Amino acid sequence: MHAVNHNLDEKFNFTSSLKKKVFIVGIAGLLLMIAGIFTTSSGDHHGEESHEAVAEVVVQDQDQHGEDHALDAEDSPGEASHEAQPHGEFSWADRLKADLWINNMYFTGLAIIGVFFFAIQYVSQSGWSAGILRIPMAFGAWLPIAFVLMLIGYFWGGHEIFHWTHGYLYDKSSPLFDSIINGKAAFFFWPTEPSGDYPFPIFWFVRLVLFFALWYYMFVTMRKTALKEDIDPSTKYWHKLVKQGAVFLVIFAVTSSVSAWDWVLSIDTHWFSTMFGWYVFASWWVSGLAAITLIVCLLKGAGYLSVVNSNHLHDLGKFVFAFSIFWTYIWFSQFLLIYYANIPEETIYFIERMSSHQYAPFFYFNLIINFFFPFLFLMTRESKRHLAFLKIACIAVLAGHWIDFYLMITPGVLKENGTFGLMEIGSAMFFGAAFTFVALTSLAKYPLVPKNHPMLEESLHHHI
């Protein structure tokens, strides 16, 4: 066992040919997006489709809970305002904004899950993962870009993405006044009262800035400590990282939930779900694990990471397998209670998604690709120990959770006008290439293996 010589100083070489490949994917994505924009803006039959869909939803709504007048009456101002919005017609720009927000949420998730994984390995004092820690650490480099994209998303597309940004909802003299959203105003606008056409959501915005600042600060702090360890072989950095990781986990426990409410749940402003923070976290976590596993597999396939053997792959595979089930558990917990209780204000969320011809295929596809596929595909021991199998499963999970975020965001932003086409595929490719480029550039800066990690020896002998 000791005979194997590992090159612990090896660095990932982000070659120009690899860079070129990433760029080609990005440019192809951009071109697909532009092609998508042209086909969307030239098509004019969207209006008719939408009327049909509205009628469909309304009919089903009445079927389900026609008796409940009290609740319906309370719901109606909100419904009315949806239809009377000044921008009731949806253009390609709105769709682009929705796509931007999906990608923002998805790739912010991957980046922060990289930091989360890094932290949790130290806090749990894990030995097996010592050799792969630099890969999740590289993901954090996306955070500042994600922050800029979030700002662009808010300032450019905030009013189309978030219904609650409209001032008339809070104006009692307006016919579009919405008592439900008005009741939630403090969550966005505290300490001010919303006034004017487009009131500025101070509290919401402060949270956005604060979360990214905390995440990035913790990421940079932990990275600094980890890199000091490379120069100075001492266990004190490991102990320091355990503490820093614990601090980050406490921060992340709160911020992951609140960011899910802020950035995703608030799109469907009337609706609420106490599972939502966990739901977004579960989706982030499993797609982050799949991204880490995929990059480990690709590096291994390219001849890097001799410290990783099939036992480490097995553990990563188990992570993807287990947390696919975890995501399903959370998804189903949210779904079943709403289905069973059958309260109109809650079921509307699933009626929009399950009972509309635009989203229903994705709704079921979401479950198939994110649960049934990884569950059956990664069930056996051997499938978790082979690069080819793991790669297929990880790509499926990564694509599947993009669809998951599509289902969280697009129906709320575009209502019945949402479609899935070149723009969505192109934007995912474009963002994916950008994320890969940033993560790999960051990965290439430091040695691939933390050579002075006190548990590296344990990791080398990891055996399950």
User: Which tokens in the block code for residue 79?
Assistant: 């419904």
| Nearer to another protein (CB atom), residue 195 or residue 342 | 342
Q: Which helix (H) or strand (E) covers residue 423, if one does?
A: helix 422-445
3-state SS, residue 386: coil
**Residue 454 amino acid letter:** P
Among 206, 379, 388, 395, binds another protein (CB under 8 A): 379
Q: Exposed, middle or buried: residue 20 (CB in 10 Å: 0-12, 13-18, 19+)?
A: exposed
Question: How many residues in the shown chain lie near another protein by CB under 8 A?
Answer: 10
Among 92, 187, 335, 446, binds another protein (CB under 8 A): 335
Instruction: Please state the closest distance from residue 463 (CB atom) to another protein, in A.
Output: 6
Q: Is 342 in the site for another protein (CB under 8 A)?
A: yes
| Nearer to another protein (CB atom), residue 339 or residue 372 | 339
Task: Name the one range near another protein by CB under 8 A: 100-108, 185-193, 373-381, 452-460.
Answer: 373-381
| Nearer to another protein (CB atom), residue 70 or residue 341 | 341
Instruction: Please state the closest distance from residue 314 (CB atom) to another protein, in A.
Output: 14
CB 164 within 8 A of CB 269: yes
| Nearer to another protein (CB atom), residue 283 or residue 328 | 328
Q: Is 380 in the site for another protein (CB under 8 A)?
A: yes
91 phi and psi angles, rounded to 5 deg = -110, 180
- Give the contact letters, 434-463, x = binds to another protein (CB under 8 A), - = no: -----------------------------x
Instruction: Please state the closest distance from residue 35 (CB atom) to another protein, in A.
Output: 39
DSSP letter, residue 378: T
3-state SS, residue 9: coil
Interhelix angle 360-367/344-354, nearest 10 degrees = 90
Helices (DSSP H) in 162-235: which residue ranges?
Answer: 179-183, 185-189, 202-231
Q: Is 336 in the site for another protein (CB under 8 A)?
A: yes
- Give bridge partners of residue 11 from the DSSP assignment: 447
| Nearer to another protein (CB atom), residue 239 or residue 381 | 381
3-state SS, residue 11: strand
CB 407 within 8 A of CB 350: no
| Nearer to another protein (CB atom), residue 21 or residue 381 | 381
**Residues at the contact surface with another protein, assessed by CB under 8 A:** 332, 335-336, 339-340, 342, 379-381, 463
